[in-house]
Amino acid sequence: MAQEFASDNSQNGLFSRLKLSNHRGFFSFIFVTLSIIFILITFAAVQQQQTTQSKADTNLCPYFSCNNYVSPGFTSGTANKLKCDNHVCCKSTLLDVNVYKCNNDTNGRLYCKNFNSYTESQKEGFCKSFPSTCEWTSSRRCIETGSNPPATVACAQDGEIINRISNPNQLCCNGLPGERVTGGPGSQIKCVGNSPASSTCVKEGVSFDVREGKNCCPSSESGPIVKLVTNLPNGSTRGTCDRETPILGAQCLTDTGLPIGTCGTTSDKLYCDSRVGTCLSCDGTVTNDNKCSTVVNPNLCATQAGPGVLYYCDAQNQRVPCDDNSGSCLKSSVVGQDLPSSGTCNYGGTNGTWKSGLCSGVPNVKCCSKGTTNPPPPPPPPGSDGGDPIVIQPPTGGTGNVELDLKLAFQGIVTLPKTKTQLKIKVKLVDDLNNVKVNNDTIFTANTSGIWSGIVTFSDVDLSKKYYLLIKGPMHLQKKICDANAADPNPDSAGYYSCQFGNITLRSGVNVLPGGVNPFDFSKVTMLAGDLDQNGFVNREDTEPLQSALLLEKDQRKSSAILEKLDLNLDGIVEPKDWDLMLAALKIKYDEK
């Protein structure tokens, strides 16, 4: 009975039911097992793939180039270091005393949702800059593409009340934060329309007084990046919020070269922020290379009339605001000046003689000695109030011989040099078609302030074109200068003036501005010293001679042979100061072209 029971148990058990004891049951078992394993493997592989993909798409930090975040990659001083360290994707590394490099933080993480903490005008742009990773939702939130969006909640129309506790994801349809409901629970928000009377922002097309402290409302429409800006004429207190559409064609790239989209150019005030590869509204000037120049150089003033010119250079080369607010600046407070004040004509003529194009006022005014009355100004342009016009001569066209009174500053030289007061400088004049005229023979002479002056001449210059200059000293990197009265961004960034397109117009003869101002005073642009072998870049073959010389005794470091080649600041001895100058040049490294 017991045996029969056992046998029954065996026959009725799980394995017996599977009939494992025969071939058919065995292969069935193997088939089912392998199928399960296959399914599990497939599931695991898919899961793994999704995980990898999610990781790659989620963290946006690899798309940032911290090296260029604090231009040009190296930082000195705590402000730049803080700027680097405050970026979620970057961290600074100490390279030398007070010299840092802004590196990508390998632990840095930036996600699409982080953009929601940016300002209203920025977060949409940032979010749409990563179309493969981030998605801009109708509720004006940035979420990860493919991730589960917050539970869909219909946006609240004007007048509706949102309960922040029960519906934390619900937003006002107008994209505004709404007003806190008074008298009720503090968690309730009432959506209100964005009319000037009830909102802090101003709708498109509505005129308003900027002194009220209001801003234009951000666009709530999806699609191409648009900005609502205040087209406020200079000096006016009333503005209108208008839509500006980017001009297609200017491609916006991240610093890593990833194409993001297109931005506008100079006219629409949108610029490309290559750090994140997005189009942003520029408070300053949008440059030709699609960058935003928000730093207003107090010494920068216009040398030629035209739309958008707000400041003019006066006779002392100081900024003077334009009198009119039309944006054209056809006149300014600058009036014609007698030239020169010393009574001696320094610009090609002699005292009391006349020379074309040297004085302010009108075209073809001649060089006048002190006390000479300027010719009467031309009639004021239509619509102006008849004030004294400033007339900047446009390019005359044709060809001619030009003289440029260049003033240069070389790195480390701030007083009269001890060993040399004259240097032969190479100057190239390049037009917008890259036609080059070369002058390698001009001798420049130093003054007691360490400013080097020289008259550079070029013959048969096409006066209808715009030019830039390439200037290279005997131990220096070549500098590209595109603008009259160019200057380094600030005293702490000597050598960091840079430009792309030539913007210098010339005329026949000596080129000076009205009032005798020399537009070719580049003494605020530092020429970096370090290219000892003059091969166009600073490398080990430039650093080694200086390193070796610094191991010599002091007397040897004063020898003429050493000074001739290695005394970068011309102070009569090769010393660690020269090494510091070399390092500064090494950071730029290449001739500008």
Partner 1 sequence: MEDQHHQTIKRLHWYILILILAFIGLAWFIFNNQYDLVSKFKDLNLIKDINNQSGFNRKNKGSISIKSKEDLRRYRVGQPINLQVFGDSVGEDILSFDVLIEYDKQAFSTPVIITNLPRYIIVTSERDDYISITGAQSPGSDERSVFDGNEILNMTFNSLKVGKYEIKIVSNKGEETTGFISTTSQSLLPQTSSFKVEIY
Q: Which residue's CB is nearer to partner 1, number 10 or number 294?
A: 10
Q: How far apart are CA 495 and CA 488, in angstroms?
A: 6
3-state class (DSSP) for residue 375 = coil
Using H for helix, E for strand and C for coil, what is the string for 208-244?
Answer: EEHHHCCEECCCCCCCCCCEEEECCCCCCCEEEEEEE
DSSP annotation of 440: E
Residue type, 123: K
DSSP string, 397-427: -SEEEEEEEEEEEETT--S--SS-SEEEEEE
Using H for helix, E for strand and C for coil, what is the string for 276-301?
Answer: CCEEEECCCEECCCCCEECCCCCCCC
Q: Which residue's CB is nearer to partner 1, number 204 or number 255?
A: 255
Query: Closest approach of Cβ 110 to partner 1, in Å?
Result: 12
Sign of CA dihedral 543, 548, 553, 558: negative
| Cα-based distances in Å from 309 to 233, 241, 323, 360, 394 | 12, 22, 11, 18, 15
Alpha-carbon radius of gyration of the chain: 35
Query: Closest approach of Cβ 72 to partner 1, in Å?
Result: 9
Q: Which residue's CB is nearer to partner 1, number 93 or number 559?
A: 93
Q: Which residue's CB is nearer to partner 1, number 384 or number 539?
A: 539
Q: Which residue's CB is nearer to partner 1, number 313 or number 568?
A: 568
Query: Closest approach of Cβ 257 to partner 1, in Å?
Result: 5
Tokens 């074309």 label which residue? Answer: 356
| Cα-based distances in Å from 588 to 57, 236, 342 | 34, 43, 41
Q: Which residue's CB is nearer to partner 1, number 3 or number 117?
A: 3
> Count of residues for the chain?
593
Residue 28, H or E segment = helix 23-58
Q: Which residue's CB is nearer to partner 1, number 15 or number 501?
A: 15
Q: Which residue's CB is nearer to partner 1, number 405 or number 575?
A: 575
Q: Which residue's CB is nearer to partner 1, number 40 or number 153?
A: 40
The side-by-side arrangement of strands in the sheet containing 161-163 is: 161-163, 188-190, 179-180
Query: Closest approach of Cβ 31 to partner 1, in Å?
Result: 12
Sign of CA dihedral 243, 247, 251, 255: negative
Q: 190 near 174, Cβ under 8 Å? A: no
Q: Which residue's CB is nearer to partner 1, number 104 or number 360?
A: 104
Q: 76 near 99, Cβ under 8 Å? A: yes
Question: Would you give the distance in Å from CA 418 to the centre of its chain?
Answer: 39
Return the number of other C-beta atoms located less than 10 Å from residue 258's C-beta: 14
Q: Which residue's CB is nearer to partner 1, number 402 or number 568?
A: 568
Tokens 């056809």 label which residue? Answer: 330
Q: Which residue's CB is nearer to partner 1, number 6 or number 153?
A: 6
Query: Closest approach of Cβ 84 to partner 1, in Å?
Result: 12
Return the number of other C-beta atoms located less than 10 Å from residue 506's C-beta: 23
Query: Closest approach of Cβ 253 to partner 1, in Å?
Result: 11
Query: Closest approach of Cβ 419 to partner 1, in Å?
Result: 20
Q: How far apart are CA 80 and CA 390, in angstroms?
A: 41
Query: Closest approach of Cβ 35 to partner 1, in Å?
Result: 11
Residues that bind partner 1 (CB under 8 A): 3, 7, 10, 15-16, 20-21, 26, 29-30, 33-34, 37, 40-41, 44-45, 48, 52, 55-56, 59, 62-68, 73-74, 93, 95-96, 103-104, 106, 255-258, 535-541, 543-548, 550-551, 576, 579, 583, 586-590
DSSP bridge pairs for 75:
100
Torsion of CA 141, 145, 148, 149, to 10 degrees: 20
Query: Closest approach of Cβ 88 to partner 1, in Å?
Result: 15
Query: Closest approach of Cβ 55 to partner 1, in Å?
Result: 6
Q: How far apart are CA 191 and CA 175, in angstroms?
A: 9
Query: Closest approach of Cβ 261 to partner 1, in Å?
Result: 17
Classify residue 35 as exposed, middle or buried by CB count within 10 Å of its CB (0-12, 13-18, 19+): exposed
Query: Closest approach of Cβ 274 to partner 1, in Å?
Result: 12
Q: Which residue's CB is nearer to partner 1, number 316 or number 535?
A: 535
Query: Closest approach of Cβ 52 to partner 1, in Å?
Result: 6
Residue 15, H or E segment = helix 14-17
Query: Closest approach of Cβ 526 to partner 1, in Å?
Result: 18
Q: Which residue's CB is nearer to partner 1, number 506 or number 588?
A: 588
